[in-house]
């Protein structure tokens, strides 16, 4: 490259590489403002430094890649809005019963059992929530639970043709996993049960009777189709989604229907705005499902089981309970991302 001895920007000698040729000096006084080096003004004797050009180009390219690489921003989706697949949606924002079902022709929850309460602080942005943490008999249900048919409620729990569903909620763990001991009594989350006959499902947490192990499992019982054999998933004890006292988690179980493969999938995810999808912890094939809708009605309840005497109140807080007629994808529930650039 040809040196231009008397062309300078300030006190720095620079070289001009065009426009006449790759090595021909730009005639003095004929500077093209589109070709001025950074830091030079029209009228100055300036040249375009190759090193500076390369440095500027590198910065611009790097910035472009950073912008493209930051195209997705994580977000928490809830509180949920109704969509075409929603069967039931309880925001649990009330301070007293009834807790309203936001779905059209939904089922309001009118009975608080034991020492259960509404109006408890929820996760940031979700108003208030249900607590079933005080006694083993705590629950929220459409009717006062009893050991007979007086508490039966007709509800739809899945797609009546395919059997597909998603059951999900936000929960706060109010017990110490390292020391919690309830023997063989589960912590019930969402249940549709009965004293006899139709017993559609239980969705719950269990210690499997292992005291002090800190090991917990999610269980789903398809009692009508598969009987008294639960599908299970180990709840994380290490990593970002590890079960911990005082933390909020999104918990879900989904089923895509027998015709779609019969996939039953468990999710357990820390409520964290940096997450872009739910954390899958286990999956299984559930081929023997009988659609969960019943004609006789069942004992539906949140935070406990409605069969006989409620005895398994969830030791914590429950919020934003949604039942859907499809198997939601990991990014189709509480966590998602918004695209800045595509």
Q: How far is CA 147 from CA 144, 152, 307, in A?
A: 10, 10, 7
Q: What is the DSSP letter of 122?
A: -
CA 257 to chain CA centroid, nearest Å: 22
Q: With DSSP H G I counted as helix, E B as strand and the rest as coil, what are the percentages for the chain, rounded to 5?
A: 10, 30, 60
Q: What is the pLDDT of residue 290?
A: 60
Q: Which residues touch 256 (CB under 8 Å, ≥6 apart)?
A: 162, 164, 262, 263, 326, 327
* pLDDT, position 210: 62
CA 114 to each of CA 53, 107, 137, 138, 319: distance values in angstroms, whole numbers, following the listed order: 74, 21, 5, 4, 18
Instruction: Name the nearest CA neighbour of 252 among 190, 184, 175.
Output: 190
DSSP E strands, the chain: 8-9, 12-13, 72-76, 86-90, 111-113, 117-121, 128-131, 139-141, 165-173, 187-193, 201-206, 217-222, 231-234, 248-255, 263-270, 280-285, 299-302, 316-324, 335-339
Predicted local confidence at residue 218, as pLDDT: 96
- Whole-number Å distance between alpha carbons of 275 and 281: 15
- Stated pTM of the model: 0.78
Look at residues 341, 340, 338 and name the one whose alpha carbon lies nearest to residue 276.
Answer: 338
3-class SS of residue 202: strand
- Asked if residue 141 lies in contact with residue 113, where contact means CB atoms within 8 angstroms, the answer is yes
**pLDDT averaged over 10-residue windows placed end to end, the chain, 342 residues:** 42 40 41 41 45 47 42 83 97 98 96 98 98 97 93 90 94 94 91 83 84 81 70 95 98 93 96 96 82 72 91 96 97 81 31
Q: What is the pLDDT of residue 51?
A: 52
Place of tokens 């005895």: 311
CA distances from 59 to 65, 66, 260, 302 (A): 10, 10, 50, 56
β-partners of residue 300 are 192
Task: Give the Å distances, CA to CA, from 327 to 55, 93, 113, 271, 294.
Answer: 51, 26, 31, 20, 20
Please list the residues that pair with 335 across neighbouring strands.
Answer: 76
Residue-level pLDDT at 294: 59
**pLDDT computed for residue 153 by the predictor:** 92
- Asked whether the beta carbons of 164 and 341 are under 8 A apart, the reply is no
Please answer whether residues 82 and 103 qualify as being in contact, where contact means their C-beta atoms are separated by less than 8 angstroms.
Answer: yes
Neighbours of 213 (CB within 10 A): 14
Provide the pLDDT for residue 222. 82
Reported as half-sphere exposure (CB side, CA atoms, 13 A), residue 101 has a value of 20
CA-nearest of 205, 195, 201 to 165 is: 201
Q: What is the pLDDT of residue 10?
A: 43
pLDDT at residue 88 in the model: 97
Q: What is the pLDDT of residue 117?
A: 98
């Amino acid at each position: 490259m040809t040196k231009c001895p008397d062309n300078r920007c300030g006190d720095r000698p620079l070289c001009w590489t065009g426009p006449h040729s790759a090595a021909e000096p730009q005639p003095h006084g004929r500077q093209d403002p589109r070709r001025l080096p950074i830091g030079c003004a029209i009228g100055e004797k300036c040249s375009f430094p190759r090193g500076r050009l390369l440095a500027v180009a590198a910065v611009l390219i790097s910035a472009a890649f950073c912008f493209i690489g930051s195209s997705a921003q994580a977000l928490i989706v809830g509180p949920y809005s109704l969509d075409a697949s929603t069967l039931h949606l309880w925001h649990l924002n009330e301070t007293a019963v009834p807790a309203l079902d936001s779905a059209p022709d939904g089922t309001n929850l009118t009975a608080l059992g034991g020492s259960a309460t509404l109006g408890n602080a929820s996760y940031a942005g979700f108003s208030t929530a249900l607590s079933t943490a005080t006694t083993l008999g705590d629950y929220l249900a459409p009717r006062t639970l009893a050991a007979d048919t007086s508490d039966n409620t007709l509800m739809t729990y899945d797609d009546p043709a395919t059997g597909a569903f998603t059951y999900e909620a936000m929960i706060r763990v109010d017990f110490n996993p390292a020391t919690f001991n309830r023997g063989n009594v589960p912590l019930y989350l969402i249940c549709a049960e009965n004293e006899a006959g139709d017993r559609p499902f239980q969705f719950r947490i269990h210690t499997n009777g292992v005291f002090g192990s800190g090991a917990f499992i999610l269980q789903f019982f398809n009692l009508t189709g598969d009987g008294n054999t639960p599908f299970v998933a180990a709840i994380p004890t290490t990593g970002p989604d590890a079960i911990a006292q005082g933390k909020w988690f999104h918990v879900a179980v989904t089923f895509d229907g027998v015709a779609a493969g019969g996939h039953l999938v468990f999710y357990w995810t820390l409520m964290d705005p940096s997450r872009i999808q739910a954390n899958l912890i286990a999956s299984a094939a559930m081929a023997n499902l009988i659609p969960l809708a019943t004609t006789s009605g069942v004992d539906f309840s949140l935070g406990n089981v409605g069969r006989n005497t409620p005895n398994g109140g969830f030791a914590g807080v429950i919020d934003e309970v949604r039942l859907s007629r499809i198997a939601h994808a990991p990014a189709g529930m509480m966590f998602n991302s918004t695209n800045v650039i595509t």
